Structure 1
Amino acid sequence: MNAKLKTGHVVTYSLGSLGLTFSQNCVNTFFLVYLCAYQKLNPIVMTVAFVLAGVWDAVNDPMLATLINNGKKTKLGRYRPWIALGAALNAVTLTALFIPVGGNVGLRYAYYIIMYVLWGMSSTVLNIPFWAMLPTIADTTEERNRASSLAKLIGGLGGFLCSTLATSFIFPNCAPIGMNKAYLILGVASAGITLVFVMLTVVFNKENYELPHEDVGLKQIFYFFKTNDQLRAYAVNFLLFTIGSTIALSQIIYIYTYSYENGTNLLSSSYSFTLFWIIACTGQGIAMFFYNQLTKKIPREKMYGASFFGCIVSFVLLFLVFFVLKPGAYLLNSVLVALSGAFLMTACGINQIGSTVMIADVADYGEYKTGKRSDSVIFSIQTFITKLAAAIAMLILGIGISVAHLPTISDVPIVDKDTGEYYGTVQLFEDDEGNYLVSDAETYEKLLHTEYGDRAVLVEGSVVGEKNMTILRAFMFLIPIPLAALGYVSYKKRYWLYGEKYQKIKDEIDRK
């Protein structure tokens, strides 16, 4: 007998989603810029390592999924113990990612690559059981829409809150003690928030619906993927969409980092990035909030398809808008960029809800085709795709950063070498020769009287050239366009699991 979906379960489940996205956005948004701009590591080396980590995920994700799927049900249920374990491991590795490592450069590369792999594995242990639990609290498509809509809506706040916490509170207040320490504080805070919100799901949520369950082995995983044509169709279109949106969104921090007053003089460091997320996430929130009402008038499959076109429109706007921005008009520029991003966030919101419902439907279809229920294995595909997409997106951005030849950023303490007076620590762009590029005359004069005076270079106008930024924006916003287009074509041609066709399959499963 199906258990009725309770509001309390939906709320506690959704709050856990905020914890998941907080960790993911912290890494996807800030880790690469931290490594390349502040730890001065080569972006191509690091991003190639991220892709290789994705290859390792292709091996270990099914193994972990099998372990989770075959785990025995406890008093807490089948999935909640794994969620608790994953949250603890994820918090530890998330903190470790942002620990500054000095000394030998080879040691730094090894440390951050290993920590990234371990964080990715902890994310698998956390994400697979979390999303696999959805069919145990929501049986019908309507209930799954309701649960996934709120989970994605609240989860979407994770990206906004993480970015706001970093750029509006931690970075401005901790910059005087150094950005390396500021990033570590961000890692610790994000780990704590992730752990607290995920544990709300573990403590207060219930697995109300008992699903048929059979143990599976690694050979059967490949069998599931081979026999489930809708799983393959879902994997392709979701991967292409996620790579494109991740390229544009997750690393947009680079645009703001290099477009502040001491960069290309287009955006203000005091509020622009936070304003972007406020406006962009408002569009996403509206789409998610009214998703259920919209699906009553517009078929879910059409809304999902429209999300690809929404992305393409936003990619074009985000690339073109920088050509009309005026230097020094910080508020106007910030609003125009944020409005362009709102199209992308709205499309992402619709796609996220649709894809979550789709993967639950694909799990039903897998049971219909094979007679075996393996939610953890099916949901591991979604987790793997998300991580692989992030790695590929970082690789493309790494290439873009190298081609754009962007300077790194250093924490420079301003101490008068004659009087010993300390003026504070500032963040300055540093070129390949080790020169500090300064556009502010007052900072330049103070720097001349420090031990770094012979490395100070006063730059008239923008420190980062418009050509360099245009190259970076081309990688961020033009490359994703064909990916979104191919994703839509793949979806239309290969995915058919909706409407009457899906309902017939679901009815057949319920009769067994």
Structure 2
Amino acid sequence: MTAVMSPTRAQTLRNRYGYGIGTIGRDAAYTLLSMFLLYYLSDTLQVSTPVFAAITVILLVVRVIDAIVDPFVGVLVDNTRSRFGKFKPWIVGGVLGSSSLLVALFAPWQLGDAAFIAVFTVVYIAWSAAYAANDIGYWSMLPALTQNQREREKIGAFARICASIGTFAIVIGIVPISSAIAEATGDVASSFFWVALVVAVITVVLQLVMVVLVREDPTVVTQSHTRFRELFGVIFRNDQLLAIAAAFVLFMTAFSVTAGLGVFYMEYVYGDLGMYSVFAAVLGVSQLTALALYPLAASRMSRRRLFTIALFIVVAGYVFFFLTPPGGLVMLVGAGVAVFAAQAVIQIQLLMFIADTVEYGEHKFGRRNDSITLSVQPFIYKLSSALANGVIGWVVLASGMKDAASAAEMTEPGVFLVRTAMCIVPGILIVISYFVYRRFYVLDEGKYAVIVEELQARKTEAATAAQSTSPADEAEGRPVGA
């Protein structure tokens, strides 16, 4: 006879897998924009050099401003009270808006240079605002699903697996799919538009599935209204949140530069753009494998030890990558596997480290601010993406890739600049990020367990005190038991 699963266990599984499913489309959409927007403008639309330079600066400025605004959006999410909870209205509204605007960003507008820059800027700012609403609502829901650290890791690991599926579906498919569309339609400029449209539809559908499946933990108590003037206190007094944010801005900037230059590298340094999809497929499989094995590794060693091992592998991969000779595909793949597999592990840990600082802040300051705290994760990604886009745009122009027709037209100094920007500079940033983490982040598994235990004791004590107070005593102002 088949055992009947308890509702609690059933909902736990629905949370674990439903939450992860929602990341597939949204990460595909983010990857399309963050990794391939500059390539689309440079090589598909072939905008002029002044337009490309202007948009590079616009992306940098808007993303920095957007990152700074994210914590304010976190306040709005934290203060939301609705029949659907505080997270889901922002998730749904944000995904509908950002998906529509994603399609608009890849529309092949036939405009003059000044008009193109103006329209692009307006649409990009609107997309950033809508994506921020969805992003903060989405990730700040994680701590509200469970306070069990191991279950959080399982939810986070599966979410990162699904996110990687979305990411690498774009990374692997963008070149052959857009080329096939261009050949079939005879319109190269609109090829990315159709890809963006399909991605937008998938994103909306899967996020709506997530909203239906996922339920918050009813034992997680929502705090009172948070004022905007309290925002900076929530963030800047949480020393553990600041420590992990500083470390990961350095790490994600380094990795984003490498990932963003990848398609340029394969076309203008390696000399075979067609190999980009093959290379990306190998990296995707390695990353998914690392994510699938993460729960097993996390159960056998401490987070700090696992983080240290992963950082060492990433740096070794960068060194190996830099030493790879032209045409050395085997060495290139080996270096890529090391970097991307270890990076997958580090991204899960970033999410876990930040999520744990929610309870740390609640324990330290007596109030719980899921969304403000988790808004630091998109802040990290957006700030690092902004810095990386600035570096990538500069490298594309300074190395000669913008004006080169193929790898044969690249100069030796230009190739050296690309390789240095992809390997040496990121490696240095990652080493610095590790020292920041080891020096300042002390919230390990033991400290977190003590914090959660004390929080539960406080809630039990408060509930007992409330039950022991009689309504009559409260009404007449008499001490209880008098």
Specify if TM > 0.5: yes
The residue that corresponds to 1:368 in the other structure is 363
Deviation at 1:348, TM superposition (A): 1.3
The residue that corresponds to 2:327 in the other structure is 325
Q: Paired residues, what number?
A: 446
Deviation string 1:198-242 (CA, Å, 9 cap, x unpaired) is: 222112222234422222122211001221100110110111110
Computed over aligned residues only, the root mean square deviation of the Cα atoms, in angstroms, reads 2.1
**Corresponding position: 1:46 with 2:55:** yes
Contact kept? 1:287, 1:349, Cα under 8 Å = yes
Deviation string 1:434-453 (CA, Å, 9 cap, x unpaired) is: xxx8xxxxxxxxxxxxxxxx
Structure holding more helix per residue: 2
Deviation at 1:160, TM superposition (A): 0.7
The residue that corresponds to 1:36 in the other structure is 42
**Corresponding position: 1:283 with 2:286:** yes
The unaligned stretches of length 5 or more in structure 1 are 327-332, 410-428, 430-436, 438-460
What code does the residue aligned with 2:241 have?
L
**Corresponding position: 1:253 with 2:263:** yes
Contact kept? 2:395, 2:417, Cα under 8 Å = yes
Query: Hey, what's the Cα distance between the residues in 2 that align with 1:40 and 1:257?
Result: 19
Query: Hey, what's the Cα distance between the residues in 2 that align with 1:370 and 1:36?
Result: 49
Match of 1:267 among 266, 272, 296: 272
Contact kept? 2:321, 2:331, Cα under 8 Å = no
The residue that corresponds to 1:15 in the other structure is 21
Query: Hey, what's the Cα distance between the residues in 1 that align with 2:418 and 2:180?
Result: 25
Contact kept? 2:319, 2:423, Cα under 8 Å = yes
Cα distance change of structure 1 residues 157 and 377 upon mapping to structure 2, 3 Å threshold: same
The residue that corresponds to 1:479 in the other structure is 425
Query: Hey, what's the Cα distance between the residues in 1 that align with 2:305 and 2:54?
Result: 40
Match of 1:405 among 400, 407, 412: 400
Match of 1:188 among 173, 194, 197: 197
Contact kept? 2:49, 2:402, Cα under 8 Å = no
Cα distance change of structure 1 residues 168 and 508 upon mapping to structure 2, 3 Å threshold: same
Deviation at 1:408, TM superposition (A): 4.7
**Corresponding position: 1:392 with 2:392:** no
The residue that corresponds to 1:508 in the other structure is 454
Contact kept? 2:64, 2:386, Cα under 8 Å = no
In the superposition, the TM-score normalised over structure 2's length comes to 0.88
What code does the residue aligned with 2:272 have?
L
**Corresponding position: 1:197 with 2:206:** yes
Query: Hey, what's the Cα distance between the residues in 2 that align with 1:484 and 1:465?
Result: 28
Query: Hey, what's the Cα distance between the residues in 1 that align with 2:400 and 2:326?
Result: 23
What code does the residue aligned with 1:483 have?
L
In the superposition, the TM-score normalised over structure 1's length comes to 0.83
Query: Hey, what's the Cα distance between the residues in 2 that align with 1:471 and 1:500?
Result: 45
Deviation at 1:466, TM superposition (A): 4.6
Match of 1:220 among 213, 222, 230: 230
Deviation at 1:319, TM superposition (A): 2.4
Deviation at 1:103, TM superposition (A): 2.9
Query: Hey, what's the Cα distance between the residues in 2 that align with 1:227 and 1:169?
Result: 48
Deviation at 1:308, TM superposition (A): 2.3
The unaligned stretches of length 5 or more in structure 2 are 1-6, 459-482
1:72 alignment partner, SS class: coil
Deviation string 1:455-475 (CA, Å, 9 cap, x unpaired) is: xxxxxx924345423322221
The residue that corresponds to 1:491 in the other structure is 437
Deviation at 1:324, TM superposition (A): 4.2
The residue that corresponds to 2:416 in the other structure is 470
The residue that corresponds to 1:424 in the other structure is none
The residue that corresponds to 1:72 in the other structure is 81
What code does the residue aligned with 1:257 have?
E
1:284 alignment partner, SS class: helix
The residue that corresponds to 1:124 in the other structure is 132
Query: Hey, what's the Cα distance between the residues in 2 that align with 1:469 and 1:193?
Result: 38
Equivalences for residues 81-160 of structure 1 within 5 A: 81-160=89-168
**Corresponding position: 1:24 with 2:30:** yes
Report the identity percentage.
23
What code does the residue aligned with 1:281 have?
G
Structure holding more strand per residue: 1
